[in-house]
Amino acid sequence: MTHTLRIITVTDAARARVATARAAAAYGVPPLERARLATALSAHLRQCLAEGGAWTVVLGTRAPAPEGDAGTLDVTVAPARDTQDDGEPPWRMSVTCTEAGAPPDPEVPDDTEVPDDTEVPDDTDLLAEALLGADEDTAAALGNLAEQEELVAFHREELHQTNQGVLALHADLDTAWRAQREAFAAERSARTEAEEARRRLRFLADASALLTTSLNHEEILRRLPDLLVPRYADGVDVWLFDHEDERLRSAPHPAAAVLAARTGRPQYAADHPGDLPGVDDQPPSALNPDRPLLCVPLLARRAPLGVLTLSPPGARWDPDDAVMLIELARRASVALDNARRFEHNRDIAETLQRALLTDLPTTPGLRLAARYLPATHGLNVGGDWYDAFRQPDGSLITVIGDVTGHGLHAAVMMSQLRTALRAYAVDGGSPGRLLTRLHVFLHHLQPDLFATAVIARFSPDDPTVTWAAAGHPPPVLRMPDGRVHVLDAKPGAMLGIPLRQEIEDHTVLLSPGATLALYTDGLVERRARGIDPGIDRLAAALEAFDPADLDTDLDGSADRILGPLLSDSERDDDVCLLLCHIDRAAGGEPDRVPAGADHLR
């Protein structure tokens, strides 16, 4: 249904506004929407009146559908048809109707223009009443707006409180994040410090192991720069107070090194403070003022050995690295002190050992050559010995022996056996008898110590040699024609064992040019292969000699025997070798295989 109202005057506009409000109320338009519609229509009508001319307000309604779709109230404002202004576009507004209502004048057909008084009578009271009634919608809307404003204010306050909580939460989260970041940074720093500490400890352990494995102080001095340069030092200088090289002892040293030697405290010489724990700061060295120096005393058990002077790989040292270097210097001091003590004791032991080995006597028709090599491990002193001396009847006794064990105790027992043997030989007696008396002597003197020995006696004007062995490797005899025999006649048991024994003598005929080799097990025995392969190698070495070499250079022949026998491995036992060579000019019977000999070659 459509209703058209003509607008020319203000009264017409008021009537149109009242009619629109009544229609909206009749069709169930909500008060807020009615207020919006009335306000918008009033504003547009004021604009129309200001422009002048005739205007029309068309109210169109569409009732709600049975299916439940809501109806609408359409309001259109446009110029009247009889006016000349057709360029102004119409104004339209639609609101939703929730109820079916009756129009103000149901008898007026659709799309019919009616007089102005059909909707609103020309009555001032009624018009005022209608206007006041229309304002009720505005009042209701304003009341609803006030409620909404209160609700908005409540929600605004609630939002404000929420925002404050969110801000506080954000602040807490930010604080927690910062604390977590600081914790992560501290953890990374602690992990880095732990890795650096582990690296320093590993270096210190490896360096200590490398320094302490050597008992040669010169080797330790050579290893120090290799350990420190270039990671921890740019230069390394070791000043030893009792160094054998006079040039090194008289060379100028930094004042900080001299002060470290006097005070026993590390010194740092530079043009800036070192801030190193346990280190005294000193002015830069006059010898090299542009180079920082760390001078660490090398302290031994009784007296300082010297000073270790280092220059940093960069501008300065890390304090923890400096602490590690000071500890390394302390360990190097211990290694140097141990090496020097060992070398001193070794020299004493070697001097004692060689003093116990007598010079070989000279005998017409018989030449002797001996070699003694101490073990390469530990103190170079042991129980191996050789000896040669004359008996009262003119016979020459040659002996080679080995006391079990190493060290000074074995050397002392060797010396006592050597002295006892010489004393027993004064009374005469064969090699077997001498070994039997030594056996009894050692058993009563040192029950827990044992020895092996072989004695050979050469008599003047007698082409035979008498020999006896007690637990010792068998002698090896080279005949003048180059054949080699192992004198493997059954030996006696070791000297000193708790067993009563009488050691037998054996006799071998020697021809001019024959060579008898006496030796200790250090020459032929190897742990991995035993002793027999070594005896075979000794026999092969003797067989390889030219007879002229043995006649003219017996000492050189002894050296050439030791070379191939000791080149295969590092020695872990003492070595003794005694060669007894019969001159060819001595004459004698033809060569023959000695009784009780194993013919090897």
pLDDT for 472 equals 94
Phi, psi for 454 (deg, rounded to 5)? -135, 135
313-to-208, 228, 268, 383 alpha-carbon distances in Å: 21, 10, 15, 51
**127 has pLDDT over 80:** no
Phi, psi for 11 (deg, rounded to 5)? -65, -40
pLDDT for 102 equals 46
Cα angle value 291/296/300 (rounded, 5°): 155
How many CB atoms sit inside 10 A of residue 47's CB? 12
**249 has pLDDT over 80:** no
pLDDT class for 435, splitting at 50, 70, 90? very high
Highest mean pLDDT pick, 128-137, 306-315, 500-509 = 500-509
Beta bridge partners of 113: 4
Query: Which of 30, 18, 23, 21 is CA-nearest to residue 3?
Result: 23
The one-letter amino acid at 299? L
From CA 388, how far away is CA 358, in angstroms rounded? 8
pLDDT class for 103, splitting at 50, 70, 90? very low
pLDDT for 149 equals 85
Contacts of residue 409, defined as CB under 8 A and 6 or more positions apart, other chains included, come to none
Average pLDDT over residues 114-125: 50
| Start-to-end Cα distance in the chain | 148
From CA 132, how far away is CA 128, in angstroms rounded? 6
Q: Would you give the DSSP letter of residue 212?
A: H
pLDDT class for 15, splitting at 50, 70, 90? confident
On average, the pLDDT of the chain sits at 83
pLDDT for 572 equals 67
The helix (H) or strand (E) run that includes residue 52 is none
Q: State whether residue 226 is helix, strand or coil.
A: helix
Contacts of residue 553, defined as CB under 8 A and 6 or more positions apart, other chains included, come to none
For the chain, how are helix, strand and coil distributed in percent, rounded to 5? 45, 20, 35
Contact 403, 383 (CB under 8 A): yes
**465 has pLDDT over 70:** yes
Average pLDDT over residues 562-575: 73
Average pLDDT over residues 150-175: 90
pLDDT for 557 equals 92
Q: At which residue do the structure tokens 């740019």 appear?
A: 234
pLDDT for 396 equals 94
From CA 327, how far away is CA 481, in angstroms rounded? 67
Q: Would you give the DSSP letter of residue 379?
A: S
Digit-coded pLDDT (tens) for 362-372: 888 899 999 98
Q: State whether residue 313 is helix, strand or coil.
A: coil
Average pLDDT over residues 184-205: 90
Pick 15 or 103 by higher pLDDT.
15
Average pLDDT over residues 231-240: 89
**450 has pLDDT over 50:** yes
| Percent of the chain at pLDDT exceeding 70 | 83
Domain at 357-599: CATH architecture: 4-Layer Sandwich (3.60)
pLDDT for 178 equals 92
Digit-coded pLDDT (tens) for 531-547: 888 899 999 999 998 88
Burial class (CB within 10 angstroms; exposed 0-12, middle 13-18, buried 19+) of 30 = middle
Considering the entire predicted model, what is its pTM? 0.53
pLDDT class for 565, splitting at 50, 70, 90? confident
Buried b (16+ CB within 10 A) or exposed e, 526-540: beeeeeeebbbbbbe
pLDDT for 445 equals 84
Digit-coded pLDDT (tens) for 321-349: 899 999 999 999 999 988 888 888 777 77
How many CB atoms sit inside 10 A of residue 52's CB? 10
Q: At which residue do the structure tokens 């420190």 appear?
A: 228
From CA 477, how far away is CA 474, in angstroms rounded? 10
Contact 21, 137 (CB under 8 A): yes
Q: Would you give the DSSP letter of residue 363?
A: B
**440 has pLDDT over 60:** yes
Three-state secondary structure string covering 482-545: CCEEECCCCCECCECCCCCCCCCCEEEECCCCCEEEEECHHHHCECCCECHHHHHHHHHHHHCC
Contacts of residue 415, defined as CB under 8 A and 6 or more positions apart, other chains included, come to 356
pLDDT class for 568, splitting at 50, 70, 90? low
From CA 448, how far away is CA 202, in angstroms rounded? 45
User: Are the folds of 217-351 and 357-599 the same?
Assistant: no
Instruction: Locate 393 and state its tokens.
Output: 């009847």
**17 has pLDDT over 90:** no
Say which CATH topology domain 217-351 has.
Beta-Lactamase (3.30.450)
DSSP secondary structure of 70-137: -EEEEEEEEE-TTSS---SPPEEEEEEE-S----S-TTSPTTEE--GGGTS-S-HHHHHHHHHHHHHH
Sketch the domain layout of the chain as residue ranges: 2-122, 217-351, 357-599
Query: Which of 216, 494, 443, 237 is CA-nearest to residue 340?
Result: 216
Quick one: residue 525, left, alpha or beta (phi over 0 = left, psi -120 to 50 = alpha)? beta
Phi, psi for 478 (deg, rounded to 5)? -105, 120
Instruction: Locate 334 and state its tokens.
Output: 């211990």
From CA 169, how far away is CA 303, in angstroms rounded? 68
